[in-house]
Structure 1
């Protein structure tokens, strides 16, 4: 399985963070994340996951990280920029809340690995 994460920024540099329904209660905040589907590029996975979870469109940029993950999982992360989509429409089955956050004002309960991805994507 390949898990794909997007570090999505708006034109002001704010980061899109989501409060995920099925994540541990004290660590529900994180970046848009999901599994790659067969035949899909990882960049397509980022765009699809953001669209499915928020209704927003993104332009996917450079790879931020590639590493081994939980059990036999591979994890890849990409920087991405907000490209439109109008009003945010959350998928209530997966996402409880979403917000644009300044990189120096991230919410409590943000996964530490996602905090590091946000920092890495600034470079």
Structure 2
């Protein structure tokens, strides 16, 4: 919570799944997630969309380049009855299936690919990660549509819609 983000936070997390069905997971060096498997994630920066933020965060933390194909869900909560903490969770796939993981050592202890079985029963996953891995998320994703313009009056420089097909 070092930087002042105000009282409404927006983060983005990526469920990056490889061709073997394994999930890309990280062990952070800080926060309540320190030392447990969680999703690559971070805060949305000024001038970027949430889906752009997750691509950036996955690349920064793990070196894996990915693309967003859908929205899985939203985690939302209030911290200490003051801070609105929100995270968009995106379904992503790696662009290069052979790309090697290179961790951001200042933020992570480790990053690796784990099977759903290892996440659910390994005993080292965050509550959110375990809950998500226990469900068939891919079947429930909202799909991304880029070629929409809601009208010049809104002055969007980037606009995307996620919806169920």
TM-score, normalising length from structure 1?
Answer: 0.88
Larger-gyration structure (1/2): 2
Equivalent in the alignment of 1:101: 114
Matched, 1:92 2:109: no
Change in CA separation of 1:61 and 1:70 when aligned onto 2, cut-off 3 Å: farther
Across the aligned residues of Structure 1 and Structure 2, the Cα RMSD in angstroms comes to 1.9
TM-score, normalising length from structure 2?
Answer: 0.68
Equivalent in the alignment of 1:48: 56
Equivalent in the alignment of 2:24: 16
How many residues align? The count is 123
Kept in 2, the 8 Å contact 1:64–1:120? The answer is: no
For residue 117 of structure 1, report the CA deviation from its aligned partner. Answer: 2.6
- Structure 1 regions of 5+ residues with no counterpart? none
- Structure 2 regions of 5+ residues with no counterpart? 1-8, 140-165
Name which of structure 1's ranges 76-85 and 113-122 shifts more when overlaid on structure 2: 113-122
Change in CA separation of 1:6 and 1:74 when aligned onto 2, cut-off 3 Å: same
Which of structure 1's runs of 4+ aligned residues deviate more than 6 A?
none
Matched, 1:121 2:137: yes
